[in-house]
Amino acid sequence: MTPVDTYTAQATVGDVNKGITNHKNLESDSTALLVFGNGDGGGGALPKMLENLRRIRAATNEHRELPSVSMGSSVEEFFADIEEASKEGKTLPVWKGELYLEFHRGTYTSHGSIKKGNRKCEILLRDVERVATLTSLLKPKGHSYVYPKRAIDECWEKVLLNQFHDGKLMEFWRIYDV
């Protein structure tokens, strides 16, 4: 979950402040993702929300009580920036064990056949990762095999997206703690 504890923020001053004050990993990256817009199943950003963020951005030019904000072009850009700033993720903390999604309980399917299919995909992708890793390690000299990280990541993203109750990505703003 984002530091604002929602993906339907209303883009208020309180939301922007919470993006920094509730940020649990500032030592790794001082930016936060503010995902805003109406509704879980649609609606998106309202003109009032965009105006709020425009005014907050203007206010941060004059006052430092608020963190600065900027509109991102895509969520992928946000994560690409973090990946670059964290030396391809090497400086980010590593989570071991099961994730407990305290704010997203009950959002996964309760249909057994879908759970079974999701689990089968997870196992197959784990196997693909193992074979790709072994191939990288054991390839004969002169062979130009390259681990297919991008293709595997794209497969994982599809599997994980299909496990979630909706895959809607809303607009976001970046919040900077300067």
Q: What is the pLDDT of residues 51-78, one digit of tens each?
A: 988 888 888 777 777 778 888 777 888 8
**Would residue 174 count as lying in a domain?**
no
Report the pLDDT value the prediction gives residue 99, as an integer from 0 to 100: 66
**Would residue 122 count as lying in a domain?**
yes
**Would residue 49 count as lying in a domain?**
yes
Q: Between the CA of residue 29 and those of 33, 86, 98, what are the distances in Å?
A: 11, 8, 23
**Would residue 5 count as lying in a domain?**
no
Cβ atoms of residues 41 and 29 within 8 Å? no
**Would residue 99 count as lying in a domain?**
no
Q: The domain containing residue 131 runs over which residues?
A: 105-162
**Would residue 34 count as lying in a domain?**
yes
What totals of helices (H) and strands (E) does the chain contain, helices first?
5, 3
For residues 78 and 109, membership in a common domain is answered with: no
For residues 80 and 121, membership in a common domain is answered with: no
For residues 110 and 152, membership in a common domain is answered with: yes
**Would residue 3 count as lying in a domain?**
no
pTM higher than 0.85? no
CA dist 73 and 65 (Å) reads: 25
CA dist 83 and 96 (Å) reads: 19
For residues 21 and 82, membership in a common domain is answered with: yes
For residues 17 and 70, membership in a common domain is answered with: yes
**Would residue 171 count as lying in a domain?**
no
For residues 74 and 118, membership in a common domain is answered with: no
For residues 35 and 80, membership in a common domain is answered with: yes
Q: Between the CA of residue 161 and those of 29, 104, 107, 153, 158, what are the distances in Å?
A: 25, 14, 12, 12, 5
Task: Name the residue among 172, 175, 178, 2 with its Cα closest to residue 77.
Answer: 172
Q: Spell 165-174 as b/e; 16+ CB within 10 A means b.
A: eeeeebbbbb
State the pairing for strand pair 31-35/172-176. antiparallel
Number of domains in the chain: 2
pLDDT in tens, the chain (178 residues): 677 777 778 888 888 888 888 877 777 777 888 888 876 555 678 889 889 888 888 887 777 777 788 887 778 888 888 888 888 888 888 878 776 666 555 555 556 777 788 889 999 999 999 999 999 999 888 888 999 999 999 999 888 877 765 433 333 444 454 3
